[in-house]
A and B are shown apart, each in its own frame.
Chain A
Amino acid sequence: DTAVSQTPKYLVTQMGNDKSIKCEQNLGHDTMYWYKQDSKKFLKIMFSYNNKELIINETVPNRFSPKSPDKAHLNLHINSLELGDSAVYFCASSQPDLGAFFGQGTRLTVV
């Protein structure tokens, strides 16, 4: 059983399109996150939700909108995609002191 699963794994799309990435965790964790990893492997937190409530919103363009329908799901919708949005996006979940559990990543390529 996959603890944190995100879909799709690969996403190739044209500039200006709108796309969504879905994430689900079956670990019963209260907190879920979206991270962006650039080509140099730097990880940057984008959003954090705790029990469906947004608790962290880093400096991210408002074209990015997270949505958490329940504690086990945190989806990411991106409007008007730009070339600079190309990256690997990771979903993760955690409980205090347990560390974070990451999904396999979604490689987004905007052309």
Chain B
Amino acid sequence: GNSVTQMEGPVTLSEEAFLTINCTYTATGYPSLFWYVQYPGEGLQLLLKATKADDKGSNKGFEATYRKETTSFHLEKGSVQVSDSAVYFCALTVNTNAGKSTFGDGTTLTVKP
């Protein structure tokens, strides 16, 4: 079956620190990979995606590279802001599975001024 394992939280950083949230996956078939962000009191929003090996998704200063050899899709940001405080979810979809998304457990990030 499909599964996503992401770094356990919570993660607390100071403003301007470097962020890495690890994500690894197992999938039957060729998955597309996603990162979602959930701000307090809101729904999940798509942050970035990559649909094939070696693709890099990027948005709002966040990046993640689809690494097929290590089955990973780690999220990085060079300099976090207080406004980045949120819960981050790694996810995958495999088209043969009716587009169903498999989500990781989420990682809570708190950025302190």
Tell me if A103 and B43 are in contact (CB < 8 A): yes
Q: Does B42 contact A (CB under 8 A)?
A: yes
Nearest chain B residue, comparing its CB with the CB of A50: B98
Q: Please report the C-alpha to C-alpha distance between residue A97 and residue B55 in the assembled complex, in whole angstroms.
A: 13
The verdict on A99 contacting B42 (CB below 8 Å), with A42-B105, A94-B101 known, is no
Tally of B interface residues using CB under 8 Å: 24
- Total A-B pairs, Cβ < 8 A: 67
Cβ of B46 to closest chain A Cβ, rounded Å: 4
Tell me if A41 and B106 are in contact (CB < 8 A): yes
Most A-side CB within 10 Å, residue of B32, B38, B51: B38
Q: Please report the C-alpha to C-alpha distance between residue A102 and residue B101 in the assembled complex, in whole angstroms.
A: 12
Nearest chain A residue, comparing its CB with the CB of B94: A96
Q: Is the contact region of chain B dominated by helix, strand, or loop, or is it mixed?
A: strand
Which B residues are in CB contact (< 8 Å) with A41? 38, 87, 105-106, 108
Which A residues are in CB contact (< 8 Å) with B91? 99-100
Tell me if A97 and B38 are in contact (CB < 8 A): no
The verdict on A101 contacting B46 (CB below 8 Å), with A41-B108, A42-B105 known, is yes
Q: Is the contact region of chain A dominated by helix, strand, or loop, or is it mixed?
A: strand
Which B residues are in CB contact (< 8 Å) with A48? 98-100
The verdict on A42 contacting B106 (CB below 8 Å), with A97-B51, A101-B46 known, is yes
Beta-carbon contacts of B28-52 to A below 8 Å, as 1s and 0s? 0000101010100011111001010
Partner pick for B99 among A31, A43, A90, CB 8 A cutoff = A31
Partner pick for A102 among B44, B106, B108, CB 8 A cutoff = B44
Cβ of B35 to closest chain A Cβ, rounded Å: 9
Most B-side CB within 10 Å, residue of A40, A56, A90, A96: A96
Tell me if A97 and B45 are in contact (CB < 8 A): no
Partner pick for B46 among A50, A55, A96, A100, CB 8 A cutoff = A100
Tell me if A102 and B99 are in contact (CB < 8 A): no
Which A residues are in CB contact (< 8 Å) with B45? 102
Tell me if B106 and A43 are in contact (CB < 8 A): yes
